[in-house]
Amino acid sequence: MSFLIRRNLPWAWAGWIDDFNRAPENPIKQPWGHFGDGSKADLNGSAEMHMPANYSSVVGGGESYEFQPFTPNFGMEWEMWWPVEGLVAQYFNLCIMENWAKVGPSFANSVLIRFRHAPVVSSDDVHIIEFDGLMSSGNDLAGNTSPVPYYGNYVTCTVLIDNDQLCRVYINGVARCQAQLTPTHRPHPGKRGLNFFNNALCDAWIRWVKIYDRPTDFPLSTSWNSVLYDDFNRADGPPGNGWTQFGTNAGIVSNSWSATGTSNSSAGLIRDTGITNGKQRVEAIAGGNNNPNSSADSGLILRCNSAGTEGLAANILSGHVYLARFTGSLSSPTFANYAHTPATVAAGDKIAFSTAGDYAWIEVNGVVICQAQLFGAVPSGNSWAGLRVERSGSNSHSWNDARIYSGV
């Protein structure tokens, strides 16, 4: 069954539901098609898609759904009975790639949501993995344990994609993991297909499947009002102007706030914005005192407390951008990354970091490049925001023209 929510240019929203409520089919017919090797699925008399065990599959055999989302924000859901057991590692996979309508799905640059039973190394878990091709070992981006054992339980699986970039996975409504997909592996029109691959010693039964376009959860259209601006165009030395600096070996140098000195250290520069509703944004220009892609990281800070011991950070380090939570202190922070992505930042680029509700995102020159859900880990009432620099063998880049905003 399909449904159309909205159609206009340039987008259309639509969704498809298959509850398998029809006469048995062996093998299952359209809108499903088989790809790769292994036994084909059938539609049984209990209105379920029955997927045989394909543990010995050599070229990744499975079942592929005909329909694909139209927009970069979409979801995939299904309920399954997968009675996996034993000590051997076994997998049930969702592959987000071309569907069967395109001849010869190759797993090239695809995204794999892997449900794993491997009691020797872990509890039942789920991982987000990027595959370059069928024989690739894969790049494991994120993972977590399942809230219930797969054996003996019906499991509802939900995969949400935002902006063809951020992937989040839920089991029985419980968030398990998220990851920012690398540019070469992201879905795009024609490559948003739902493909199941039962790489296990036991059969699997799917009771229903949903695939649909959806509005993004991220409030990217939030209106922002400027509450503070500082261009740092004043004499070299302490920043002054109402800022609180944590850590040493940092100050104004050549009209930028920069790391100084020769010893390795971290420093934060924050101030109280008075913004306690969680809608905060900080923008700054990457300065030219050093290579922004060096091994010394710099960052933008939001939802920080007055002591500088917890908050959110958008960090630039070694050709990547990281969206993270920090604890400890701004002078010696410990980071827990929500998501990261490769990104080359040049001196003069405008970096923006925003948070609203339970969501945060990073922009470079107005383009969203990294997103993450926060899961309530940092209080929205933390009202301090600012910047961070570091020296680690060399200085991180400096910051120019910092502006803080409140959201409407």
Going through 214-273 in order, the beta strands assigned E by DSSP cover: 224-230, 244-246, 250-253, 256-259, 265-272
Q: pLDDT tens digits, the chain, 408 residues: what are they? A: 554 555 444 456 789 999 999 999 999 999 999 988 888 999 999 999 999 998 777 677 899 999 999 999 999 999 999 999 999 999 999 999 998 877 566 778 999 999 999 998 888 999 999 988 766 678 999 999 999 999 999 999 999 999 999 999 999 999 999 999 999 999 999 999 999 999 999 999 999 999 999 999 999 999 999 999 999 999 999 999 999 999 999 999 999 999 998 888 899 999 999 999 999 999 999 986 655 556 788 999 999 999 999 999 999 988 899 999 999 999 999 999 999 999 988 889 999 999 999 999 999 999 999 999 999 989 999 999 999 999 888 888 899 999 999 998
Q: What is the DSSP string of 326-392?
A: EES-TTS-EEEEEEEEE----TT-EEEEEEETTEEEEEETTEEEEEEE-TT-S-TT--EEEEEEEEE
pLDDT value of residue 9: 41
Distance, in Å, from the CA atom of 233 to the CA atom of 225, rounded to the nearest integer, reads 23
pLDDT value of residue 129: 96
Rg (CA), the chain: 24
Residues 6 or more apart whose CB falls under 8 angstroms from that of 82 comprise 92, 115, 150, 151, 155, 198, 200, 202, 204, 205
Q: What is the DSSP string of 288-315?
A: SSS-TTSSS-EEEEEEE-TTSSEEEEEE
> What is Dmax (Cα atoms) for the chain?
80
Confirm if 90 and 84 have CB atoms less than 8 A apart.
yes
pLDDT value of residue 11: 52
Distance, in Å, from the CA atom of 247 to the CA atom of 85, rounded to the nearest integer, reads 53
Q: Is 176 helix (H, G, I), strand (E, B) or coil?
A: strand
Provide φ and ψ at 185, rounded to 5°. -115, 5
Separation in Å, CA 90 to CA 78, 127, 203, 254: 19, 13, 11, 59
Pairing of strands 350-356, 334-342: unpaired
